[in-house]
A and B are shown apart, each in its own frame.
Chain A
Amino acid sequence: MAKAEPTIIELREAALSRLRAATDLETTRAWYREYLGDHGAVTALTRRVASLPPEQRRAFGIAVNALKSELGAALAERQARLEASALETRIETEALDVTLPGRPVQRGFLHPTTRIIREICDIFGKMGFQTVEGPEVEYAKYNFDMLNIPADHPARDVWDTFHVESGEAEIVLRTHTSPMQVRTMLAQQPPVRVVVPGRCYRYEATDATHLAMFLQVEGLAVDEGITLADLKGTLTEFARQMFGPDRKTRFRCDFFPFVEPGVDFAIDCPQCNGKGCRLCKQSGWIELLGAGMVHPRVLEMVGYDTSKQTGFAFGMGPERLMLLKYGLDDIRDFYKNDIRWLRQMDRAWL
C-alpha cells in the first residue's frame, strides 16, 4: 500500500504541472485524453482497484476518485481561463471601424399622393366615412346635370372640361369626384357617409398652382338631422388632425351649385400664422376646400325624401393640402416623378 501512495501523488504532481503548462484548448483536450480519458493514466488507476487486496481497496478507491475529481475541476478551470483569454484576444482583434458605410438597402416607398390620400381617408374613416371610388371617365349627367349644374349655365364654366369622343351620351373626364355622390345615392338609401378619392381632370394650362390632372377627395354625409353645424364640426376635426390642434378655422359663405347653403372652409395661414404673407395674399387665411349642405335638387334627383333627409358635402385637393402642409411651391412636382424629389418628400413626410 505504501508503494501506491507516491504513485498517486506523483501522478497528481505531473498532471497538474502539465495542465498549468497548457496554453491552448487543444492541449487541454490532449491532456484530458492522457489522464482522464478511457485510456488515461487515472482511469488506469481505477482499473487497478480490483487487483488490490480487499482491505486496501476502499482507501485506494477514495484516493483515486479524489484525484479524478480534483483533476477534472482543474481542467474545467483551466479550460474556462483559456476560453476567456481566447475570447478576449478575438474581441481585441475584431474591432470594427464603425464609421464604415452600412451596406445599402434598396428601400422602396410610396408616392406622396398615395400617402396623403390615405391620411385624409383615415381621418374621415375614424369619423365613420367609408372610402368609395368611381369612374374617371364619366357621363356629363353625373358630373354636371344631376349635381344641379345644367347645360348652358354659367356655373359650368367654373370647370374647364375635357370632353371625350362618344356617341349620343355626353362623356367627360370627371372634373371632380362629386359624381360619385350621385352614384352612391342612386345605389343606396340613407344613411350615407362616404369619402371619394380619385383622379380628376380640368382643361387648364399647367403652372405652379394648376394641373390638368389632379386629385380630389369628396365627402358626403346624408341622414335625418344632419346640419351645417355637423359639417363645421367634421371639417374642423379634419383640419386639426391634418394641420395640428392649434389651427384656427374660418367658415364663410360661398357658392357651389350642388350645395345650399354653400361654404368656403379656410384655416389660418400655416406659413405666417394668420398675420398675412405672400402665400395667403395678405389675407391671413388659406382656403382649404369648398363645402355645403347638399342642394335639395340634388337629393330630389336621386329620389331622396327632402322633407326628411339633409346632408353635407365637401371637396378638397390633396396636392394643394400638401403644398400648404409642407410649404412646397410647385404643384407640378407631384407628377414629374423626379426620384430625387420623391425621396426628399419621403424623408420630409413625418
Chain B
Amino acid sequence: MKVSWQWLKEYVDLDITPRELARRLTMAGLEAEKIEEIGAAWDRDLVRVARVKEVLPIGGADRVVQVILELPERDVMVVTGATNIRAGQKIALGLIGARLYDGHRDDTILRTLKPRAIMGVTGEGMVCSEKELGISDEHEGILVLPDDAPIGAPLVDYLGDTIIEFEITPNLVHDFSIVGVAREAAAVTGAPFRDPFQRWATEPLDAPEIPGIVTVEDTNLCPRYTALVMEGIRIGPSPDWMQRRLLAVGVRPVNNIVDVSNYVMVEYGQPNHVFDLDRLVGRRLIVRHARPGEMLELINHETKSLTPDMAAVCDEAGVTDLGGIIGGTRSEIVETTKNILIEAANWEMRNIRHTRQALNIRTDASARYERGLEPELTMPGARRVAELITQLCPEAHLVGYTDLFPNPPRPRALTMRFSKIAAVLGTAYPLDAVCDVLKRLQFGVEISGDADPVLTIAIPSHRADVSHPEDIVEEVARIIGYETVPATMIAGTTPHVIRSDRWIAREAARDAVASAGLIEVSTYSFTSADALDRLAVVGGPGAAAVPIVRLVNAMGEWEGMRPTLRASLLATASDNVKFTSGVAIGEVANVYLPRESGELPDERLTLGIVLAGTDTERSLGIAPRAYDFFDLKGIVEAILPALGVGSLAFVSADDLVFQPGRVARVSAGGQALGVIGEVHPRVAEAFGLPGRVMLAELDLEPIVASVAARRGELRRLPGTSRYPATENDFSVIVDESVAAADVAQALAQAVGTLGQRVQLFDIYRGDQVPAGKKSLTFAVTMQAPDRALSEAEIAKVRDRVRQALAKRLKATLRS
C-alpha cells in the first residue's frame, strides 16, 4: 500500500523525516518496501510557482511564444512551445541552473538547465511539464497548477511529497489506510494522532432513516450494511488536490464521485461503492446468496458466473454487484447520475476470500475484507464519502440513510499478568511505559493488584488480530523496540535426545559417494511423463504404467513426484557431457511411491549413480578409458561397505532400461538393494547421451533400518594379526559357464579362516587351457593370528583348495 507523506500529515504531526518514519515503522512490523520522493531534485530557489502575466508572439515563429511570468520579486521571461499556456495560469517555473528531466527523451537522467536561444530569444528558464518535473510521463503541454498555488513558493513546498510503499501482512488490516498508518506513526513516535473517528462517533447524522431501502437476507454474509442516500449530484472531474493524491497512491482518477469513493477507501480503509440510485430497479437493494449460474458483468467488463456461496447485491431485476469485491456495470455511476446510494458494508472475510479465489479477481476492497475488517468502520466511511461529495458538489445533499447491523460484536477485552511480558521477552519494562504504549495504540488498560499486577486490556475494534496475551507482548515490544531485548542463550534442562537414523544414513551415503570419486548432485524431486517415457523406449513401463504421486496443480511438465532417480540423473549427465569428457555423478535423495488414497506416499531414500564418458582427462602417463560396468561395480563395492553393508551379491538381472546381459541385481544378505548396469543404448540415446552409460539405483531404506537396528550394538571386530601375511597365486581352470563369483566363493571357503583376501586378478583363455575352459588366477592373502605360516601349512591349504574345487566345480588347480 502506498502512503503519501502529505496526506499522512493531516492525521499526525511528525517532526522526523519520511525516511526515518519508514525505518521506525519497519522495525515495528509495518515494512516499508519502497520510498519514492516527488520533488527531491527540485531546487527551492530555482523551481518555483509563478503566474503567467502575458503570452507574447515571437516574430516569424508560429510554434513558440514568449511568456512573461510573475514572481514576487521580479518578472521573468521564458520561451515555450507549449500550446496550453494562457495568461493568468499558475505554472511551475524552472530557472537556469535547475535540475530537470528532458521531456523528449525516455531516460530518467536529471540535466541542469542552461541558457539556450530559441528563434533568437534567450529565456531565463522554462515552464515545466509533468515529465520534466519527474511527476509523470506527461509531456504534451505544461503542468497547470491550481489557482491557490502561492506565487513564488518553492514548488517542492507546494507539490513535493514522499510516497512510502508498505507491505501489509495478513494481520495488518488496521494499517491498510492513511489513518491506520497515522495511528501507527503516532504510536512509534509519540506524536499526537488526530483521530477522525471520534468526530463521527459524537456528531449526529442529520438525515432520516429510510426503512426498506436495503434488505440483507443473510447476515452471516454481510454482518453490517450502511447506506447513505444523496441527491443533487453533478458528475464532473474531482479537484486537482484529490486527483494528485490518488495518483500519488496509485489510483487512477475517474470522476468526482468515483474519486471520492476511492479516496475514502485509501484514507479510512473502508471499501465502499456508489450506486446510481435511479438505475437500481425498484430503487432498492437486496443482499442475498447468488443463484446458481447467475451472471454478472463487472465494471471491468468481464462477465462472471456466480455460485450460491457468493454474496450478491441485487436490485429487483437481479444481481448488480459482487458484495465486497467489485461492482457491476448495470448500476455504476454514469455522466448523467443525479441521485446516489453510498454503500459501506462489512462482508464476512472467509467468504470474500473464497469468492475472489473462485472468480480469480483481486481488488483493493477484497484485500481489505479478507483480512477481517472491523464492522464499526462502515458508518464513518460512508459519512466521510458523503462529506467529501458535499464539498465537491455544493448542490448535493443527504436525504436519508439505513444501517443494518443486527448483531454488533461486544467489545473485547483480555486479562493478563504484567509479568507475562517479561516472561516472554526475557526483559522487563516499567509498568507505566507498557501502559503508555498500549494507550498510544488505543487499547484501554486497567491495572489491579500490586505485586504482579493484573492488566485488563480493552481491545479496540480495529484490532481483530489481538486475542492472546502474547499479542499484547508483541505490541509492547515492537513499539518500545525489539532492539531493547537482550541477547541471551537458552538456560534450563537438556532436551531429550532424538537421533535421526535417516539423517545419519543419508549423510554417510553422501560422504561415501564423494569418497568414491563421484560428484554429488542435487536434482529436482519432480518428474514428467516425458522423462518416464524416455526410460521406457525399449519397452519398460512408461508414464502410463508407473504409478506416481501426482500433483493437482502441475507446473509445466512437472506432473508429480519422481518414482525413480534414473531419469533425473541421466538428464543431468546429458546436460554435462557437452562440456566435459567424463561424468561421474551420484545423488542421495528421496523417491516417492504412492500408497493408498489419503495416505502419505512412501518416501524412500535412494542412491543413484551415473558414469558416462571417460574416467579421466588426457594427461601425461594416463590413457583415458571409457567407463564400464566394472567401474560402476567397484564404486558400489566401495560405497556399500562404508554404510555397514557386507557380503554383497550381484546376480544377472532383467531390466529394460539396461542392455541385456550387462545388468545385475544387487543384494546383501538376501535383502534386495537395487540394480546396476550399462544403460541400453536406445535409452541412452533417448536422453541424448552418446557412448556407453553406466547407471546404478539402490534403495537405501534397508540401510536406514540397519543403522537404526544397530544403534547401541557392540561391534566385534575380526582383529588384526602381528604376524607376516603371505600372498599366493591360485590359478583355477574351470568350465566357461562357471561364474567367477562362484569360484571365488569356493576358493575362499576352502582357504578357511587363514584367508584375508581372495581377489581375482587374471583371466586366461587359450593354448595353455583346454577348449571350453578358462583359467582364473586369484591372489590369496593368508595370515594366522598367532604365528607366521610355514611353507608346509601353505602347501596343505593348496591341497585342500585343489580337492574342494575339484569336488564342487570340477575345477583343477594349475601349478
Contacts and interface: CB of A to CB of B under 8 A. Distances in A.
B585 A337 contact: yes
A243 interface: no
Interface string A225-241: 11111101110110000
Contacts of B487: 229, 232-233, 236
Contact of B550 (A104, A164, A201, A257): A164
A165 B486 contact: no
A32 interface: no
Interface in A172-203: 173, 184, 188, 190-194, 199, 201, 203
Given A103-B619, A340-B579, A108 B517 contact: yes
A152 interface: yes
B420 to A, nearest CB: 10
A337 B572 contact: yes
Contacts of A106: 517, 584, 615-616
B552 A253 contact: no
A87 interface: no
Contacts of A335: 522-524
A278 to B, nearest CB: 14
Contact of B371 (A154, A193, A223): A154
Contacts of A224: 492
B395 interface: no
B140 to A, nearest CB: 33
Contact of A152 (B353, B495, B521): B353
B622 A103 contact: yes
Name the residue among A108, A118, A221, A335 with the largest chain B CB count within 10 angstroms. Answer: A108
Contacts of A154: 170, 353, 370-371
B519 A109 contact: yes
Interface stretch (B115-123, B467-475, B758-766): B467-475
B496 interface: yes
B40 interface: no
A136 interface: yes
Contacts of B494: 128, 191
B169 A255 contact: yes
B520 A108 contact: yes
Contacts of A104: 616-617, 619, 622
B717 to A, nearest CB: 27
Nearest to B169: A255
B549 A103 contact: no
A194 B551 CA distance: 30
A203 B554 CA distance: 9
A296 B470 contact: yes
Interface residues of A, number: 93
Contact of B27 (A107, A135, A252): A252
B585 A339 contact: yes
A102 to B, nearest CB: 9
A17 interface: no
B474 A227 contact: no
A270 to B, nearest CB: 20
B200 interface: no
Contacts of B499: 130
B26 interface: yes
Contact of A228 (B471, B477, B523, B524): B477
Interface in B450-490: 468-471, 473-474, 477-478, 482-483, 485-490
A315 interface: no
Given A108-B518, A213-B526, A262-B474, A338 B576 contact: yes
Interface in B497-534: 497-500, 502-503, 507, 510-511, 513-526
A320 interface: no
Contacts of B497: 130
Contact of A227 (B423, B470, B549): B423
Given A261-B424, A335-B523, A136 B590 contact: yes
A31 interface: no
A337 B478 contact: no
Interface in A157-179: 157-158, 162-169, 171, 173
| Nearest 8 pairs of A and B residues by beta carbon | A229-B426, A227-B426, A253-B29, A167-B598, A261-B474, A167-B597, A253-B478, A255-B169
25 contacts: A103-B621, A104-B619, A108-B584, A111-B522, A132-B503, A133-B500, A154-B370, A164-B601, A166-B597, A167-B598, A191-B493, A193-B490, A199-B525, A212-B555, A213-B524, A224-B492, A227-B488, A228-B485, A230-B488, A230-B489, A253-B477, A255-B172, A260-B473, A339-B580, A340-B580
